[in-house]
Amino acid sequence: MTRDEIKDLILEIIKDIDEDADFDTLQSDLPLRDQLDLDSMDFLDIVMELRKRHKLQIPEADYPQLASLTSCVNYLEPLLKNI
C-alpha cells in the first residue's frame, strides 16, 4: 500500500467507528484522539479493525505509534508494503 492508501484506510476505519467523524479540519501531525473525540475504547477498535482486515498483530507496546495520522502511516507502511 502507498502512504496515501494507508491514510485512506485509517480514515475509512475511523468513519466506520464513528460515522459523524469530521475530517475537514483534521491535522495529520496532531493526536487523532484529541481531534476526533475518540476514547481509548474507540482506539482499540482501530487496532482490531487492522487485525481483522489485514491480519496485522499490533502489540500493545506499539499503540502509541498510532497516535496521529502521520505516525500511523509511518508505522504501518513497512507492515503493509506487500498488500
Contact criterion met (CB below 8 Å) for 34 and 40: no
Check binding of 42 to other proteins (CB under 8 A). yes
Check binding of 4 to other proteins (CB under 8 A). no
Tell me the three cell numbers of residue 66. Answer: 498510532
CA contacts within 13 A on the Cβ side of 35: 17
Q: Which helix (H) or strand (E) element contains residue 11?
A: helix 3-17
Residue 58, classed as helix, strand or coil, is coil
Binding segment for other proteins (CB under 8 A), chosen from 2-10, 15-23, 27-35, 65-73, is: 15-23
Q: 48-67 mask for other proteins (x: CB under 8 A)? A: xx-xx-------x-------
Binding site for other proteins (CB under 8 A): 17-20, 37, 39, 41-42, 44-45, 48-49, 51-52, 60
